[in-house]
Structure formats: structure tokens, C-alpha cells
């Protein structure tokens, strides 16, 4: 049901019923105003022609008022419709902002990687994959890890740019510089990556999971064992 | 003149009536109550009264918004969603009673909740026996999905249980990494409320903190029914700790923080998502500045989809804030809606007789872009989207300071 609700009658806006003998008014409150006047004439009209004339007069008056009301309503609706149609559209005015880079970049751990034979002692490497899901290109401006006794370099070296819909392999090479300042068995180690796109620059941590944690711990333990002094993962 | 006035009034009222008619039609669509077909109830279980009601009411309102949105969009043809929200008062026994009540209502095809992991423990079997799917927006205890021996051997216990929030297996270590590596804290005093969530979170935090080279200056357990922590505050002061980690919720964490500072220990109190509430700051007072909390998900302002949720939540005029779990609650409800849609679509547009079992099965493969990002579940029923953020109290409000994504 979409029915139009009744408009509460205001003063003088009651329907003007055709005169008939049986017409009654609620609670004895009769209509007032012009309708009464016409009805009064009508009631005393002597002939059918006269009644017809009065009927026409009444009909014309009612018709004129109805037409005027309809025109006014149409005018209001047309005006309202124009305003509605020409209202500001936010979507049209402002293109959606690009996503924050941390929301479209994914970094995953692939596995251990070989290090060059001439790499310094206590060096090991891991393969990562970095992907950009959507939005403008994302530049990695910095790539690091949080432990004081560990240095990190990457290939490609930062900064490097990746377009949406593409992935790139990143080789992380780490070297233990001070065994006492590297945890031997961190449960959830992460990489800190600074990302930049057209929207923002963000420092974001990528927690690479238990397999990375295991491989990193093992590499650190080997690097810091008594026999160590040479690179791992060869 | 009078007649012209009357005509003008008549015209204006006519136009108004037509305008109201248009509005009335739209309202009718909004409610979705007259679309006919089948009514599916999404149950809600959360603390709607009591200390944690701020979080619970945010959950309820957000699920309500999801149901209204689905109805407005006629997202599942022939199905109208409604909600049935029950109050567990953060009590496991109440949660179990509510689970039984929701199971008895055959129109309920999925439940969002609860807030507390301890309450979830009491509800899981009831729902699982009835093959009624449950999606929690807030439970973070790992054992709920991965079994009690999750640290050594993960094993799913209940196929009907899912969650959109990430777990304390990540949240605790994430906090430890932040405190050691970024905040440069080395000596922690650990306090918990002995409950499933609080004790579990404190445990995962402490293990990682020690692995990273930090030391534990002391441990204490509080009584959640108490608000006087002055004795513990004195112990904290005397321990020489440079940070306090609290496993528990804001009704106790707020006064605890206040009393620790009042005892003279000007060190940050750090907690998990259970203290990430505006009410924590109210309870802790001005000295809460510098306190920290981790919470599930990325900051709302970073997610375009969250902005739409925030705007729609505001439009609906809910009295209570959506709080920490609003987006996750909306996504939990929408996951149920997606599963119902899948079941209906696969059954010629009608709900099958074994709808609950089919909805539970469909949930495993649900995947959509939600308020909090991509929503889907792994083999344990855990969310595949595992983002976390560290927040700090600054100028009387929580401000994000660091976010991380788990991709293991």
C-alpha cells in the first residue's frame, strides 16, 4: 500500500458536497463559507434552469478553484523536481580518494635464499614477494627489521615502485652484527616497510608468520653459534 | 483574498501530501518489512547491560545496520532479515542460556557474538549440536578455533564457529614486539583478570616479550569484581617495571591505570582490544595519556569501506557508538547474510529444510569485501584478514601509532 494519506482539512478546505436533502454534518458542525451561500441560492431556485444555472456557477467556481490548485501544485512539484534533479551529487563532484598503501600492499614470505659466496660472515637471505592489489603505484621507500643486532639490505634496493595488479620478488639479505642484540627465537618477527602512494606515506609492519619466524631463528642461531663466522644458506 | 489563500494552502498541502507519499514509499522499502517471503533471524549475543555494554551495544547496532542494509538492497531475494538480540551480561551461564534460546527459534539461521571468549566457550557446543553457525566479531582467544593445545598442535573443535577478529596468538606478540622494538621497554609487570581472554592474552604477550629479551618484573591477578587495586599498584611501583601489561577489559583496566599512576609509577599501562574503548580513558582519567592498546583491524580512517559504514551508522541515528567491534560485527552479520544467500540461490530461491547445516557449510567459503577489508575464513574458522593496530591515548582519545598485517 502506497496510499496517499489524507491531508488534514484546514479552515475552508472541506470538500464541498453537492446539495442534497440527506446531507449531514458531523457533530452538527456544518461547512462554512461560500458553499453555504451557493447552497442557499440553490435551495430557493424555483426552476430546473435556475438550478442548472446555479449549478453551473457553482461548478465553474469549483472548477476554477480546482484548476488553480492543481496548477499551483504542479508548479510546486515542478520546482521541487527541478531542485531535486539539480541537487549536488557528491559522487559526481569528488572522485574517490586512492586507498592507503598499507591496505593494498601484501608482503609474503617465500623461503630461504642463497647468498653470494663473497658475502660477509653471518649473512643469510630470504625471498619475499610484494604485491599491489589496486590503486595508484606504490613505492617502497624503506625496508627494515626491528632488531639492533641485525642489518638488512634488499634487492631491489629501496626505493622501488610497483604498479597495481603486479607482484615483484624481493630478496632480503640480513647480517648479524651483534649476536647479543638479536632474539634467537622470536615468535612473530616482522618487517617494517615504509610505503608511499598518491594518498599517503605509511610505516607498516608485515608479520610474516611462523615459517619465517622459524627460518629466521634458525639462521640467527647458526650465525651466532660457536662454529659460525661464515655465511649461511649457501 | 481569503479564497486565494485557501487555494494556496490547498495547493501547498497537496504538494506536501505527494511529497510525503514519496517519503512513505521509501520508508517502507527501508524497513523491508513488507517484502513478503521468508523472514530469517540473525541472533545476537553480547553484553547489552553491565560494565561492558558499550561494546555490546555497538555490536548489536552494527548487526542491525547490516540487516537493514540487506533488506533495503533486497540482497537475498525473498528473504527479509531481522535481528534478535540477547543480553549475556558477559556471563558464561547467561550466554549458554541465550544459545539454547536462539537454537529453539527455528527462524534463527546464524548468530553474531559473543564479545567475551569465556562466554563463547559456554556457547560453542550448544550451537554446534544444532548446526547453527556462530560468527564472533570479538573473541580473540586462540583455543576457540584451534583447540586448547593450539600452541603445539592446532585442531578445530567446532565447525559451526567462526570469527572475524584476529586472535591473541598474534595480538599478544604484536604488543610485545612494539614495546621492545619501538617503545624500547625492557621490564614489564604483567597483570590479568584470570578470565579466558585476559589470562590468554597476557600469556601470549609474556612469552614473546621474554623471547625478545625483555624481563618480567612481576605478575599479579586481579579480581574483576573489585575496583580497588591499590595493593597491586604499590607492587608495580616497587618492582621498577618500565611498563605494565594488563590482560583484561576496560572496566578494570581504567581504575587500574589510574591507581598505578597515583601510586607513583608513571609508566604506561598497555592492554589488548578489551581496553580499546573510550570508556577506558574516562575511567583512567587524565593520567591515561601514553597508555597503549592493541586492537584488531586497521584504523577506520584508512578503510574506504569503513567510512561508508560509519556514515550509514550515523544516518541510522544509533544512540551508542559502534566502538571497537562495530565493523567486525557488521562483517560478521554480512557473512551470515552471504551464506544465506548462497544457500537460497543454490536451492531455487528457497530455504531448504536443513537450512542451518547448509548455512554453516556455506560459511566456510564466504568471501566478500567488508568494512574491515576482505572477509573470509581459514580452515579453523579464523579470519584470513589479520590486521592489528597499536593505539595510544593522546589528548583524551585513542590515536593510532602503528599498524601491522599478519601474512603467515
Q: Please indicate, yes or no, whether residues B119 and B266 belong to a single structural domain of this protein.
A: no
Whether A76 and A128 share a structural domain: no
Beta carbon pairs, A and B, within 8 Å: 137
| DSSP result, A129-187 | EEEE-SSS-EEEEEEE-S-TTEEEEEESPSSEEE-TT-EEEEEEEEEES-GGGS-SS-S
Quick one: cell of B340?
544465506
Contacts of B19 in chain A (CB under 8 A): 80
pLDDT tens digits, A176-188:
999 999 998 898 8
Number of domains in chain A: 2
Res A74: pLDDT = 62
Distance from CA of B211 to the nearest CA of A (A): 6
Domain-embedded: residue A190: yes
> Do the Cβ atoms of B115 and B52 come closer than 8 Å?
yes
Supply B6's cell numbers: 485557501
**Same structural domain, B253 and B396:** yes
**Per-residue pLDDT for B323 more than 80?**
yes
Contact B405 A211 (CB under 8 A): no
Tell me, yes or no, whether A108 and A219 share the same domain.
yes
Q: How confident is the model at residue B386 (pLDDT cuts 50, 70, 90)?
A: confident
Which one of A50, A65, A87 terminates a domain? A87
Chain B CB contacts of A213 under 8 Å are: 408
Over residues B204-208, mean pLDDT: 96
Residue A75: its pLDDT value, please? 59
Is residue A42 situated within a structural domain?
A: yes
- For B174, the closest of A69, A183, A188 (CB atoms) is A188
Using an 8 Å Cβ cutoff, are B198 and B247 in contact?
Answer: yes
For residue A202, the surrounding DSSP H or E stretch is: strand A201-207
Domain identity same for A83 and A61: yes
Tell me the pLDDT band of B302, cut-offs 50, 70 and 90.
confident
Which of B28-32, B113-117, B369-373, B403-407 shows the lowest mean pLDDT across its residues?
Answer: B28-32
Instruction: Work out the minimum CA distance from A195 to partner chain B, whole angstroms.
Output: 12
B321 and B279 in one domain? Answer: no
B116-154, pLDDT tens digit by residue? 999 999 999 999 999 999 999 999 999 999 999 998 899
CB contact under 8 A, A207 and B406: yes
What angle (nearest 5°) sits at the alpha carbon of residue B135, between those of residues B130 and B139? 115
* Residue carrying C-alpha cell 513478503: B36
pLDDT reported for residue A129: 97
- The alpha carbon of residue A151 is apart from the nearest alpha carbon of chain B, in Å, by 14
Residue A129 lies in a domain: yes
Average pLDDT, chain A: 72
CATH of residue A140:
2.60.40.1230
User: Could you tell me if A209 and A136 lie in one domain?
Assistant: yes
What's the CA gap between A53 and A39, in Å, rounded? 13
Query: Does residue A132 form part of some domain?
Result: yes
Strand partners, A169: A129
From the CA of B11, how many Å to the nearest CA of chain A? 5
Same domain? For A218 and A105 the reply is yes
| Cβ neighbours of B7 in A, within 8 Å | 65, 68-69, 72
- Tens of pLDDT, residues B256-266: 999 999 999 99
**Residue B220 domain-assigned?**
yes
- Which of B31 and B295 is assigned the larger pLDDT? B295
Ranking B30-39, B272-281, B360-369 by mean pLDDT, the lowest is B30-39
**In 3-state terms, what secondary structure has residue B52?**
coil
Do A83 and A105 fall into the same domain?
no
Q: Please give the model's pTM, rounded to 2 decimal places.
A: 0.74
Pair A175, A206 in one domain: yes
Residue A209 dihedral angles phi and psi, to the nearest 5°: 95, 180
Instruction: Report pLDDT digits (tens) over B94-104.
Output: 999 999 999 99
How many domains, in total, are found in chain B?
A: 2
Region at B10 (left for phi over 0; alpha for psi -120 to 50; beta for the rest) = alpha
Q: Please indicate, yes or no, whether residues A126 and A81 belong to a single structural domain of this protein.
A: no
For the residues of B104-126, what is the DSSP string, one character each? H-TTEEEEE--S-HHHHHHHHHH
Q: What is the pLDDT of residue B312?
A: 95
| Whole-Å CA distances, B305 to B53, B164, B331 | 26, 16, 11
pLDDT class of B245 with cuts at 50, 70, 90: very high
Sites in chain A below the pLDDT cut of 50: 1-57, 90-91, 227, 229-234
Q: Which residues neighbour B264 within 8 Å (Cβ) at sequence distance 6 or greater?
A: B237
In a domain, B352, yes or no: yes
pLDDT at B82 over 50: yes
CB neighbour class for A79 (10 Å; exposed up to 12, middle 13-18, buried from 19): exposed
Start-to-end CA distance of chain B, whole Å, equals 81
CA distance B280 to B274: 9
Say if residue B237 is in the same domain as residue B273.
Answer: yes
One domain, residues B113 and B77: yes
pLDDT of A116 reads 87
What are the residues whose beta carbons fall under 8 Å from the beta carbon of B78, sequence distance 6 or more?
Answer: B35, B36, B37, B38, B344, B349, B350
Residue A117, domain extent: 101-223
Residue A44 lies in a domain: yes
A78 & A113 share domain: no
Task: Please indicate, yes or no, whether residues B154 and B44 belong to a single structural domain of this protein.
Answer: yes
What is the predicted pLDDT for the residue at B1? 41
Q: Which residues on chain A are in Cβ contact (under 8 Å) with B21?
A: 2-5
H/E segment holding residue B386 = strand B386-394
> Are the beta carbons of A166 and A136 closer than 8 angstroms?
no
Q: Share the mean pLDDT of chain B.
A: 90
What pLDDT is attached to residue B298? Answer: 85
Asked whether residue B287 falls in the same domain as residue B202, the answer is yes
Q: Are residues A60 and A125 in the same domain?
A: no
Per-residue pLDDT, A77: 62
Smallest CA–CA separation between A38 and chain B, in Å?
Answer: 15
Residue span of the structural domain in which B195 resides: 169-296+389-406
State whether B197 and B156 are in the same domain: no
Residue B315: its chain A contacts at CB < 8 A?
Answer: none
Residue B8 domain-assigned (yes or no): no
Residue B307 sits in the same domain as residue B292? no
Residue B114: partners with Cβ closer than 8 Å, 6 or more residues away = B45, B46, B47, B88, B95, B120, B123, B136, B138, B139
Find the CATH number of the domain harbouring B203. 3.40.50.2300
Cβ–Cβ of B405/A207 closer than 8 Å? yes
What does the angle CA A218 – CA A147 – CA A121 come to, to the nearest 5 degrees? Answer: 55
Nearest CB partner across the interface for B404, out of A100, A183, A207:
A207
Strand, helix or coil for residue B283: helix
Confidence of residue B355 (pLDDT cuts 50, 70, 90): very high
Residues A52 and A155 in one domain: no
- The model's pLDDT over B7-29, given as tens digits with 9 standing for 90+, comes to 444 444 344 433 333 333 333 33
Cα(A42)–Cα(A57) distance, integer angstroms: 10
Alpha carbons within 13 angstroms on the beta-carbon side of residue B157 total 17
Which residues does residue B244 pair with via DSSP β-bridges, in sequence order?
B189, B269
Angle between helix axes B2-31 and A48-85 (nearest 10 degrees) is 50
The single residue listed with the C-alpha cell 469549483 is A62
Select the residue of B303, B373, B408 nearest A212 (Cβ to Cβ). Answer: B408
Residue B22 placed within a domain: no
- For B397-407, write each residue's pLDDT tens digit: 999 999 999 98
Q: What DSSP assignment string belongs to A62-120? A: HHHHHHHHHHHHHHHHHHHHHHHHTS--HHHHSPPPPPPGGGTEEEEEEEEE---TTPP
Please give the pLDDT value at position B372: 87
Identify the pLDDT of residue B279.
93
Residue B111 and residue B221 in one domain: no
Residue in A2, A73, A77 nearest the CB of B24: A2
B361: β partners: none
Partner-chain contact B302 A76, CB within 8 Å = no
pLDDT of the residue at B249: 94
Residues A80 and A125 in one domain: no
Per the domain annotation, does A6 fall within a domain? no
The reply to whether B201 and B310 lie within a common domain is no
Task: Say if A160 falls within a structural domain.
Answer: yes
Domain boundary among A22, A54, A87: A87
Give the whole-angstrom CA distance, residue A233 versus residue A175.
Answer: 12
Round to the nearest angstrom and report the end-to-end CA distance of chain A. Answer: 78
Closest-CA residue of A relative to B171 is A188
User: Does residue B128 share a domain with residue B81?
Assistant: yes
| Residue A149 located in a structural domain | yes
User: Which chain A residues are within 8 Å of B403, Cβ to Cβ?
Assistant: 102, 202, 204-205
pLDDT tens digits for range A2-32: 222 223 223 333 333 333 333 333 333 222 3
Check pLDDT > 80 for residue B255.
yes
Which has the minimum average pLDDT: A197-201, B164-168, B311-315? B164-168
DSSP label of A9: P
Amino acid at each position: 500500500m502506497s496510499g496517499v494519506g489524507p491531508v488534514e482539512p484546514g479552515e475552508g478546505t472541506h470538500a464541498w458536497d453537492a446539495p442534497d436533502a440527506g446531507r449531514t454534518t458531523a457533530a452538527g458542525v456544518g461547512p462554512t463559507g461560500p458553499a453555504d451561500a451557493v447552497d442557499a441560492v440553490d435551495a430557493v431556485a424555483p426552476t430546473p434552469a435556475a438550478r442548472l444555472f446555479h449549478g453551473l456557477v457553482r461548478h465553474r467556481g469549483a472548477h476554477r478553484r480546482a484548476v488553480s490548485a492543481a496548477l499551483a501544485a504542479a508548479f510546486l512539484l515542478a520546482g521541487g523536481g527541478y531542485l531535486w534533479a539539480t541537487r549536488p551529487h557528491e559522487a559526481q563532484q569528488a572522485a574517490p580518494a586512492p586507498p592507503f598503501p598499507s591496505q593494498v600492499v601484501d608482503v609474503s614470505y617465500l623461503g630461504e635464499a642463497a647468498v653470494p659466496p663473497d658475502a660477509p660472515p653471518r649473512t643469510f637471505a630470504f625471498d619475499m614477494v610484494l604485491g599491489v592489489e589496486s590503486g595508484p603505484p606504490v613505492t617502497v621507500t624503506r625496508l627494515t627489521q626491528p632488531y639492533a643486532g641485525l642489518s638488512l639490505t634488499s634487492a631491489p634496493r629501496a626505493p622501488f615502485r610497483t604498479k597495481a595488479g603486479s607482484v615483484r620478488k624481493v630478496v632480503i639479505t640480513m647480517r648479524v652484527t651483534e649476536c647479543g642484540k638479536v632474539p634467537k627465537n622470536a615468535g612473530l618477527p616482522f618487517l617494517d616497510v615504509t610505503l608511499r602512494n598518491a594518498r599517503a606515506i605509511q610505516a607498516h609492519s608485515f608479520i610474516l608468520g611462523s615459517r619465517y619466524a622459524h627460518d629466521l631463528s634458525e639462521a640467527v642461531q647458526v650465525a651466532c653459534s660457536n662454529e659460525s663466522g661464515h655465511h649461511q644458506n649457501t | 483574498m481569503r479564497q486565494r489563500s485557501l487555494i494556496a494552502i490547498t495547493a501547498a498541502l497537496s504538494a506536501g501530501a505527494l511529497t510525503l507519499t514519496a517519503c512513505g514509499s521509501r520508508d517502507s522499502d527501508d524497513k523491508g518489512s513488507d517484502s513478503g517471503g521468508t523472514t530469517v533471524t540473525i541472533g545476537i549475543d553480547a553484553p547489552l547491560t553491565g560494565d561492558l555494554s558499550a561494546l555490546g551495544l555497538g555490536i548489536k547496532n552494527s548487526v542491525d545496520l547490516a540487516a537493514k542494509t540487506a533488506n533495503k538492497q533486497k540482497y537475498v531475494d525473498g528473504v527479509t532479515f531481522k535481528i534478535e538480540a540477547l543480553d549475556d551480561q558477559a556471563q558464561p551461564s547467561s550466554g549458554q542460556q541465550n544459545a539454547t534460546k536462539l537454537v529453539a527459534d527455528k527462524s534463527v539461521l546464524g548468530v553474531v557474538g559473543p564479545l567475551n571468549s569465556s562466554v563463547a566457550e559456554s556457547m560453542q557446543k550448544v550451537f554446534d549440536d544444532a548446526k547453527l553457525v556462530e560468527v564472533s566479531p570479538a573473541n580473540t582467544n586462540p583455543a576457540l578455533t584451534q583447540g586448547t593445545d593450539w600452541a603445539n598442535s592446532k585442531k578445530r573443535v567446532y565447525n559451526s564457529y567462526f570469527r572475524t577478529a584476529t586472535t591473541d596468538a598474534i595480538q599478544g606478540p604484536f604488543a610485545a614486539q612494539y614495546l621492545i622494538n619501538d617503545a624500547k621497554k625492557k621490564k614489564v609487570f604483567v597483570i590479568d583478570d584470570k578470565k579466558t581472554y585476559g589470562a590468554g592474552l597476557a600469556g601470549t604477550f609474556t612469552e614473546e616479550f621474554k623471547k625478545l629479551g625483555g624481563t618480567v618484573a612481576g605478575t599479579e591477578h586481579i579480581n574483576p569484581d573489585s575496583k580497588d587495586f591499590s595493593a597491586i599498584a604499590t607492587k608495580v611501583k616497587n618492582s621498577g617495571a618500565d611498563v605494565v601489561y594488563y590482560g583484561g577489559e576496560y572496566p578494570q583496566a581504567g581504575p587500574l591505570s589510574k591507581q598505578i599512576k597515583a601510586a607513583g609509577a608513571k609508566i604506561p599501562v598497555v592492554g589488548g582490544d578489551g581496553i580499546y574503548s573510550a570508556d577506558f580513558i574516562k575511567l583512567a582519567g587524565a593520567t591515561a595519556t601514553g597508555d597503549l592498546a592493541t586492537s584488531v583491524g586497521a584504523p577506520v580512517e584508512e578503510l574506504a569501506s569503513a567510512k561508508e559504514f560509519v556514515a550509514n551508522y550515523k544516518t541510522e541515528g544509533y544512540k551508542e557508538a559502534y566502538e571497537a567491534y562495530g565493523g567486525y560485527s557488521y562483517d560478521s552479520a554480512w557473512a551470515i547474510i552471504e551464506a544465506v544467500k548462497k544457500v537460497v540461490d543454490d536451492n531455487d530461491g528457497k530455504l531448504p529444510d536443513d537450512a542451518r547445516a547448509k548455512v554453516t557449510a556455506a560459511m566456510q567459503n564466504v568471501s566478500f569485501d567488508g568494512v574491515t577489508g576482505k572477509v573470509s575464513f581459514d580452515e579453523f574458522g579464523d579470519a584470513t584478514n589479520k590486521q592489528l593496530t597499536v593505539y595510544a591515548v593522546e589528548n583524551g582519545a585513542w590515536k593510532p601509532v602503528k599498524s601491522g598485517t599478519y601474512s603467515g
